[in-house]
Amino acid sequence: MRPFRSIALLVAAVPALALAQGAAPAQPPAGQSAPAAAPAAAPGSSGPETTAPASPSPAEPPERSRTQRDAPAVPQTAPDAAPASRPTDDDAEGTPAQGPQAPGPTSGTAPESPPSDAPVLDSGGEAPRTTDAQQQRLVNGAPLYNPNVNVHIVQKKRFADEGKHELVLYPGVVQVNGKFTNHVGTALHYVYHLQENFALQVGGQYNWYSDESDFNLELIDKVREQAQAASSLLLQWGAHAGVEVTPLYGKFAFFNNSLAQFSLVLSGGAGIGKTRHLIRPEVANEVEGQTYQVPARFGDTGNKFLGEVGGGFRVQFGESYAFRLEVRDLIYTARVDKVDGCNLADFESLEAARAANQPFEGLNLSSSCKVAKFDGVDPETKKNYREDIILGRDLVAEPSSDVLNNVSFYAGFSVLF
Amino acid sequence: MNARTLRVFAALCISLTALGAAAQEDGVLDSAVVRNRLYKPAGHPELSLSVGLPVQTHLTAHYFFNVGLAYNLFDTFALEARAGYAASRHTGLARSISESFLDREDKRVTDELEDLWQMNLHGVIGARWAPIYGKISLVADIPVHFQTYLWAGGGLGNLKRESVIQCTQVVDRAAGVCDNRTAVDDRGSATENYWVKESRVAPVVSAALGFRFFIQQKHGVRLELRDWIFKDSYRVNLLRDDWEAGNPTGEPAGSPGLTHLVQFDLGYTYSF
């Protein structure tokens, strides 16, 4: 009968175990104080080592009050140390020595053998792991001090996301796969967490630096080669909407001192982006013995469809703050057949007029061609814009297309509300 | 641009630090929660094997095969020696440049391209610092324990360089042939090429950010983003007439900069 009684006691203890394991993000009443005696005290042990203070200090987490409520429910059907066996759970490991045990509700007689699935003690022969009330407090709802309780520490998220809004600012967005291009920008995203693991997101990004890479300029300089226009298209800004899922979550400790919860976030979406292409790099312009530095010139290549996929980590600090480290790939189709609205025929007409030193008025150009961008002289740098016509024509002379992957590293922080 | 970038990153760091400090003050950070580490590598030596794939390729591509031997002085700190071989090659872009440049006679004076050195045999000794220990919940009840670490060290690497500009014996200029292939369109038949080659042994620095996922007590999987860094070296002011005559030309670049080989490493670790 004793094994049956033990099993019955274990079954009866299940609800209490469930209580003990449940993380307690909700705040219990502040005035709720703990019972005076720590129930995890080993029979026979005495003194302050196993006695909890009469009331928790304000600094202690509210879960503390559950410490004393849970442990008595843990039956100890095997008062003598069970054979050493490593606990199966991740947080009941370590070196749980024969620690404090709850007083067994059974009579003094020892059972013949515990059930095979009963929690057991590791009789490592070491001193009890917990000795004072501070160590016996619940941590995220887990009675880590009690080696008899199997605790799934990564069992319940401490902070719920469902129904929350999240505003994410990525001050630094740096392209990491820039062979022919370099982008650095800033992004702002809004995320609404529809469910715990599923959210809707909308965001925008402005690349305050977008230029051809040094590698591309090196090729032009040294071997007279360069990337096709479509392969070196630059993304000026982008806006997209999509979804975000968080299939995994976890936690980590930094040097055993600080805990942080994190989630793996995966995102996908679609939108639109504005592109441009370098027409002329920065040059020095000499006019009448004076040198002017002429900044790089870019030509508008239109808006493109934008796809977005990404993944990363969101590390949460409390209920309201988080920071994110992500890698996102902005995918856009690139076909360059117009620069500043002018196609190849337009550039041919403009070049012919330039060679003949004729005005551009009256030329038969397409309606989208912004002819003013290729006419006149810059008053500050004395650069004649007509000299850029041939460069613009080169970009569209051989229409090129490509699918570009702009993979960037996003570092940012967010506020949840 | 650099100054602006630095300013932005400084602001970002300050913001993140402020967030963490605020969280600490609010008591939202518990102390020593992951106190029971299931895996304590301290005092254990370990052997690791890894394969590295290039994150990005410009003119060369490297595929690393490494063996590592480490000793964990503490749970969070280890010393490791790594050695291996990197299979390397020119990319298609480099080949394309080499073929077209043979016929570009309008460019008779030029500089060698940067970052053309290929690393083969290499060995480094470094330190691994793993301040972060964590666990993730994979599916429901399967916790996976991991460490996040930084690795830094240095050593030596055997480097070789094959020019894509200087061909000492042009076979077919229009077709861009600079080797002894038997047919113009059969590159595979070549047994020797006439591009200028160099080799050297140079100091190498390596740094990595990685994750180590524990599997049972003795096994582990490592994912790393690793950078191999060494000083570049190339010649400038090269004269086409000289190199095509087989004569040395040009002079070493004054400040050639550093070459970075950024790899994604996948590795296995066995702890003794």
Q: What's CA A380's distance to the chain center, in Å? A: 45
For the segment A78-88, the average pLDDT, to the nearest whole number, is 39
Averaged pLDDT score across all residues of chain B: 84
Residue ranges of domains in chain A, CATH in brackets: 1-155 (no CATH), 165-337+399-416 (2.40.160.20)
CB contact under 8 A, A252 and B133: yes
Rounded Cα distance, B240 and A260, in Å: 61
Nearest to B137 among A154, A186, A254 (CB): A154
Q: Angle formed by the axes of helices A214-223 and B92-101, to 10°? A: 20
Specify the range with the lowest mean pLDDT, choosing from A81-95, A338-352, B198-212.
A81-95
Q: How confident is the model over A60-73, as pLDDT tens digits?
A: 343 333 333 343 33
H or E stretch covering A218 = helix A214-223
Residue B127 pLDDT exceeds 90 = yes
Rounded Cα distance, B59 and B117, in Å: 9
- Residues found in chain B: 272
Q: Which residue of B has its CA nearest to A179?
A: B58
Chain B residues touching A251 at Cβ < 8 A = 33-34, 134-135
Q: Which residue of A has its CA nearest to B23?
A: A317
CB contact under 8 A, A153 and B34: yes
Both tokens of residue A310?
A: 């990404």
Q: How confident is the model over A199-224, as pLDDT tens digits?
A: 999 999 999 999 888 898 889 888 88
Chain B residues touching A215 at Cβ < 8 A = 58
Top-confidence residue, A254 or B65? B65
Chain B residues touching A411 at Cβ < 8 A = 12
Please count the other Cβ atoms lying within 10 Å of the Cβ belonging to residue A138. Answer: 26
Top-confidence residue, A75 or A390? A390
Q: Given pLDDT bands bounded at 50, 70 and 90, which one contains residue B228?
A: very high
Top-confidence residue, B33 or A342? A342
For the segment B24-31, the average pLDDT, to the nearest whole number, is 44
Identify which of A242-251, B63-72, B243-252 has the greatest average pLDDT. B63-72
Chain B residues touching A59 at Cβ < 8 A = 27
Residue A236 pLDDT exceeds 70 = yes
Chain A residues touching B112 at Cβ < 8 A = 222
Q: Angle formed by the axes of helices A389-397 and A344-355, to 10°? A: 150
141-170 of A, contacting B, C-beta below 8 A = 144, 152-155
Residue B8 pLDDT exceeds 90 = no
- Per-residue pLDDT, B36: 60
CB contact at 8 A, B122 and A244:
no
Identify which of A32-46, A350-364, B46-60 has the greatest average pLDDT. B46-60
Both tokens of residue B234?
A: 């190339």
Residue A273 burial class via C-beta count within 10 angstroms: exposed 0-12, middle 13-18, buried 19 and up: buried
Q: Given pLDDT bands bounded at 50, 70 and 90, which one contains residue A139?
A: low
Q: Given pLDDT bands bounded at 50, 70 and 90, which one contains residue A145?
A: low
Tell me the C-alpha to C-alpha distance, in Å, between residue B213 and each of A79, A156, A246, A404. Answer: 37, 21, 20, 33
A171 at B interface, C-beta within 8 A: yes
Chain A, chain B: beta-carbon pairs less than 8 Å apart:
164
The helix/strand/coil state of B126 is strand
Top-confidence residue, A107 or A139? A139
Q: Given pLDDT bands bounded at 50, 70 and 90, which one contains residue A412?
A: very high
Residue ranges of domains in chain B, CATH in brackets: 45-271 (2.40.160.20)
CB contact at 8 A, A108 and A2:
no
Q: Given pLDDT bands bounded at 50, 70 and 90, which one contains residue A354?
A: confident
The helix/strand/coil state of A389 is helix
Give pTM, 2 decimals: 0.68
Q: Given pLDDT bands bounded at 50, 70 and 90, which one contains residue B24?
A: very low
Q: How confident is the model over A97-134, as pLDDT tens digits?
A: 343 443 444 444 444 444 444 444 444 444 445 566 66
